[in-house]
Structure 1
Amino acid sequence: MSKVHEIVLEKILQQLERGEIPWKKGWTENPPINYITRKPYTGINVLLLKGGEYLTFKQIQQLGGKIKKGAKSEIVVFFKPYTKIVEEVDSETGEVVEKEKELLVLRYYHVFHINDTEGIPSKLKKVEHNPLQEAEKIIAGYKNAPKITHDNPNEAYYNAAKDLINIPDKGFFYSIHEYYSTLFHELIHSTGHPKRLNRFKENEKSAFDANSYSLEELVAEIGAAMLSQYAGIMEKTVENNAAYIQSWLKQLQNNKMMIFKAAAKAQQAVDYITLKKEELLCY
Structure 2
Amino acid sequence: MTKEKFNIYELVTNKIIEKLEQGVVPWKKPWNSSNGPAVNWKTQTPYRGINVMLLEPGEYLTFKQAQEAGGKVKKGAQSEIVVFWKWIEKENEETGETEKIPFLKYYRVFNINQCEGIVSKRNEKIETYEHDPIEEVENIINGYINKPSLSWERTGAWYKPSIDLVNVPPLSDFPKAEEYAQTMFHELIHSSGHVSRLNRDEITGTHKFGSMDYSREELVAEIGGSMLAAVTGIDNVTFDNSASYIQNWLNVLKNDKKMIVKAGAQAQKAVDYILGVSYKESNK
TM normalised by structure 2 equals 0.47
TM normalised by structure 1 equals 0.47
